[in-house]
Structure 1
Amino acid sequence: MNAHEIKKLFPILDQNVNGSPLVYLDSAATSQKPLQVIEEINTYYREYNSNVHRGVHTLGTKATDRYEGAREKTRKFINASSIEEVIFLRGTTTALNLVAASYGRPNLKEGDEIVISYMEHHSNVIPWQQVARQTGATLKYLPLQEDGTISIEDVKNTITGNTKIVSIMYVSNVLGVINPIKEIAKIAHENGAVMVVDGAQAAPHLKVDVQDLDCDFFAFSGHKMCGPTGIGALYGKKHLLENMEPIEFGGEMIDIVDLYESTWKELPWKFEGGTPIIAGAIGLGAAIDFLESIGLDQIEAHEHKLAAYALDAMSNIEGIKIFGPQSAEQRAGVITFNLDDVHPHDVATVLDADGIAVRAGHHCAQPLMRWLNVSATARASFYLYNTDEDIDKLVQGLVKTKEYFSNVF
């Protein structure tokens, strides 16, 4: 199935915006949803809406089967060894906060080190800042090469015997860089550290195998991979999760509640307090089915091809600066750029007038913006439903934007 055929499966893409056909280039922020995901969620609410794990009636049993079935699909999708290692949460942010609070805070002390990089999303910066402040641990930043990539030599020089946690994004939401997570995890483990991976931009675009990566935790969100908002998952190695305490308490996650003490359910439910995100999990399961019907290898190859086409076409625009590696093989389908003397928000506004949706701002990566020596950038991000024609329209829009502001000023 080619990108033009895939595009027809997404109802939202068949519309005009501001009088022009929609060109959606903001999938790094959130992806669009295919009809089968939308229909699966609608079916849950129309036909078997019920709480899970609690009732013995028919609707409750069906809802539980679909909810736990989605967990098994998620397990297979990332190749976790057991459903006990797959926790459903609101998304990557919640998952990283859980690891920081439930694993990081109890296990760190003064003199210990947490290593992250300058390219991290705020969700993988702020939780570790808080843990460092609360425990006295030191937060260290892995340096970047001139093109925004990470060198293994720098990894070896930064991670030490005092490092207890290394937390790195698999794919940068700004630079599009695909980081060498497997190699970083090996170095982390050789120094006795735990490897945490922000997989928000990886799970939708690459074949993920957490056992092959040998990461200790892996967090990702459903809404970036054709699923609904408000659902995501945390993978954690079983022996680590078993020794972690929940940080949210109430129904669902308990075993026995007495007047003065309580005990928790077994994994993974001890981390899923309250009524879970039932429709979201079912929708995520449908999204996984959809992505696997296309093939993650095909999706990755398509994005590399689009990135190469876009890099070539955009580099011919006078006055454009493209951030990150210039080779499409080193990046996912994300291209972040600025036009000389035109603010990124103005770029996005002019493009939007022609129905072209891109992102502008700091992309929840202010430390990286400072490293790049800019306050903001524009970003075009591609997915399985984008085509060469979308890139052509983007390039035409950027040329038009540059000409417009040249005439204005």
Structure 2
Amino acid sequence: MNTNDPSFLKLNPETFIQNSPSPFPDERSLEKLAREMFGALQSFGGGNLPTSGLPTNGLSSPTSSQETLPYLEDLKLTDTGFSYSNFQSFPNINIPQSGGGNLTSARRDFPILTETVNGKPLVWLDNAATTQKPISVIERLSHFYLHENSNIHRAAHTLAARSTDAYEKARSLVQGFIGAGSAEEIVFVRGTTEGINLLANIISDKHIQSGDEILITHLEHHANIVPWQMVCAKKGAKLKVAPVDDSGQIILSEYERLLNSKTKIVSITQVSNALGTVVPVEEMTRSAHKVGALVIVDGAQSVSHMPVNVQEIDCDFFVFSGHKLFAPTGIGVVYGKKSILDTLPPWQGGGNMIKDVQFDHTTFQEAPFRFEAGTGNIADAVGLGAAIEYLNRFGMKQISAFEHDLLEYGTKELLKIPGLRLIGTAKDKAGVLSFVVDGFKTEEIGKRLAEEGIAVRAGHHCAQPILRRFGLESTVRPSLAFYNSCEDIDALIRVLYQLGSRNKLGI
């Protein structure tokens, strides 16, 4: 696997920022600044990078020194700085429309990855907490606020039409991305946590009685535990937990044993955020449906790592967050089968979710609008659509295969560290390399890595039950995305070896 980073990743963006007029006083100063930037790129890359006459579809994947960077002519002065003159082509940077883009050059699409931290190049290995955003998403948000900002659905003016079109396009993009049967099955929420809380409230009112059972697994994030505990306390139901083996995989025989006629809801993660375990959700869904249970799949940690098709899984509901999918924070999705959504009551009341309001009664909209009370996060839904368009041009199958190789490389190298123990060794994993090291507190390791510009999560990852299953209160958790490389892992490994050497010397 070739994971050589583009040479310009070593640039210090502070040099660019310190010399940037804001806004640029004229096009000449903008051109001068851009030429200086490209000159810096050239000095790092060693190639003959042109400063004019370049293609209008943005950055191309550099496989030789003759390939090019964007036209200066595409950069146009605006009241707020500069933008690309052909915005519709801007999201295509680095990757062709037909998919199969070069993942080894994807990193250049993420501006924050050129940051320096403590004088060192940023190595972002905290993707399970949140992913970074490609420039196409950042620019899409800017474009929305510059040209489309309006409330949606109800106004007749032009900006309302633009905003509504962009919002509903995002809904359709989500539908295609997760394989839903209809855009009407896609509900926008703030994120996975709000999505599960929404479902816990609207399903429990109709489907949960005293003595009923709700089944989850030992792998769950707190967001897929606490709402169900609250439902059980309110309704007099019982929460059951399917155990895992020593590798961190679900013990399917025990899961099957826990299913019975009292099981009304099964809510399971597809990928563990703490261990990276990939859960066999299709098989578990089939088993749950045999006893008549509704199935919710928490896809917060799966959608960025692998292809997802909710119709193939046959789950009744699927939830995920945009910020873990290279999209903005504050936006997420609940997928629900339309035939079920139409039978459920709304969670919140207010504008947008009604057909008609009178003082003695209200008539609600059909799904999905009955679950989207008030003004939603319009811009960030549009940003989520842009992130999906970006990912679609690579294809999730290619991303999954790339990350699998990276995960295998990281596993192999980490296991060479004396005293290091991987937590979560299931055969099928995605994106997560949790570990502890003898003689070191996890926060100590996290702090030392941060000093070298390496971002990882050190803590309980909002998944205390599964860590305690392994006798731990916290782990160090590097987590991967497709813009990572073997070099990122090598940087992590070097610091861990240095820690081991210091420990031997008693420092």
Range of TM-score over shorter length: over 0.9
Q: Is the 8 A contact 2:269 2:279 kept in 1?
A: yes
Is 1:259 aligned to 2:359, yes or no? yes
Which residue of the partner structure matches residue 53 of structure 1?
Answer: 153
Q: What is the deviation of 1:406?
A: 4.3
Which residue of the partner structure matches residue 41 of structure 1?
Answer: 141
Q: What is the deviation of 1:51?
A: 0.7
Q: Secondary structure at the match of 1:99?
A: helix
Q: Deviations over 1:82-112 (max 9, x none)?
A: 1111000001001100110000243111221
Q: Which of residues 450, 453, 461 is equivalent to 1:355? A: 453
Instruction: Give the whole-Å Cα distance in 2 for the aligned partners of 1:361 and 1:397.
Output: 19
Q: What is the deviation of 1:404?
A: 3.1
What amino acid is the match of 2:121? P
Q: Deviations over 1:195-252 (max 9, x none)?
A: 1100000111111100000000000011101100000100011121111111111111
Q: What is the deviation of 1:326?
A: 5.6
Which residue of the partner structure matches residue 463 of structure 2?
Answer: 365
Q: Secondary structure at the match of 1:255?
A: strand
- TM-score normalised over the length of structure 1: 0.98
Which residue of the partner structure matches residue 236 of structure 2?
Answer: 136
Is 1:210 aligned to 2:278, yes or no? no
Instruction: Give the whole-Å Cα distance in 2 for the aligned partners of 1:85 and 1:3.
Output: 31
Q: How does 1:161-172 map to 2 (within 5 A)?
A: 161-172=261-272
Instruction: Give the whole-Å Cα distance in 2 for the aligned partners of 1:401 and 1:225.
Output: 33
Q: Which of residues 372, 379, 396 is equivalent to 1:272? A: 372
Is 1:84 aligned to 2:147, yes or no? no
Is 1:341 aligned to 2:439, yes or no? yes
Q: Is the 8 A contact 1:185 1:213 kept in 2?
A: yes
Q: What is the deviation of 1:361?
A: 0.4
Q: Is the 8 A contact 1:105 1:131 kept in 2?
A: no
Q: Which of residues 376, 392, 396 is equivalent to 2:490? A: 392
Q: Is the 8 A contact 2:189 2:333 kept in 1?
A: yes
Q: How does 1:115-194 map to 2 (within 5 A)?
A: 115-194=215-294
Q: Which of residues 108, 117, 129 is equivalent to 1:8? A: 108
Q: Is the 8 A contact 1:320 1:339 kept in 2?
A: yes
Q: Secondary structure at the match of 1:294?
A: coil
The RMSD of aligned alpha carbons is 1.1
Which residue of the partner structure matches residue 295 of structure 1?
Answer: 395
Q: Is the 8 A contact 2:242 2:251 kept in 1?
A: no
Q: Secondary structure at the match of 2:109?
A: coil
What amino acid is the match of 1:377? T
Instruction: Give the whole-Å Cα distance in 2 for the aligned partners of 1:389 and 1:3.
Output: 14
Is 1:228 aligned to 2:328, yes or no? yes
Q: Which of residues 181, 195, 200 is equivalent to 2:295? A: 195
Instruction: Give the whole-Å Cα distance in 2 for the aligned partners of 1:316 and 1:407.
Output: 19
Instruction: Give the whole-Å Cα distance in 1 for the aligned partners of 2:316 and 2:303.
Output: 16
Q: What is the deviation of 1:333?
A: 1.3
Q: Is the 8 A contact 2:456 2:477 kept in 1?
A: yes
Is 1:315 aligned to 2:411, yes or no? no
Aligned pair in 2 of structure 1 residues 288, 94: CA closer, same or farther (>3 Å)? same
Instruction: Give the whole-Å Cα distance in 2 for the aligned partners of 1:18 and 1:326.
Output: 35
Q: What is the deviation of 1:405?
A: 4.2
Is 1:241 aligned to 2:323, yes or no? no
Q: What is the deviation of 1:26?
A: 0.4
Q: What is the deviation of 1:403?
A: 2.7
Structure 1: runs of 5+ lacking an equivalent = none
Q: Which of residues 87, 98, 120 is equivalent to 2:198? A: 98
Q: What is the deviation of 1:408?
A: 4.6
Q: Deviations over 1:267-303 (max 9, x none)?
A: 1111001111100110000000001111100111111
- TM-score normalised over the length of structure 2: 0.79
Q: Which of residues 191, 196, 211 is equivalent to 1:111? A: 211
Number of residue pairs the alignment of both structures matches: 407
Instruction: Give the whole-Å Cα distance in 2 for the aligned partners of 1:316 and 1:170.
Output: 29
What amino acid is the match of 1:392? D
The structure with the larger Rg is 2
Instruction: Give the whole-Å Cα distance in 2 for the aligned partners of 1:393 and 1:7.
Output: 16
Q: Which moved more, 1:192-201 or 1:152-161?
A: 152-161
Q: What is the deviation of 1:325?
A: 1.6
Instruction: Give the whole-Å Cα distance in 2 for the aligned partners of 1:405 and 1:51.
Output: 58
Q: Secondary structure at the match of 1:333?
A: coil
Instruction: Give the whole-Å Cα distance in 1 for the aligned partners of 2:147 and 2:455.
Output: 35
Instruction: Give the whole-Å Cα distance in 2 for the aligned partners of 1:249 and 1:172.
Output: 33
Identity %: 45
What amino acid is the match of 1:401? L
Q: Is the 8 A contact 1:20 1:354 kept in 2?
A: yes
Q: Is the 8 A contact 2:184 2:338 kept in 1?
A: yes
Q: Secondary structure at the match of 1:100?
A: helix
Instruction: Give the whole-Å Cα distance in 1 for the aligned partners of 2:271 and 2:277.
Output: 5
Q: Is the 8 A contact 1:149 1:177 kept in 2?
A: yes
Q: Is the 8 A contact 1:167 1:197 kept in 2?
A: yes
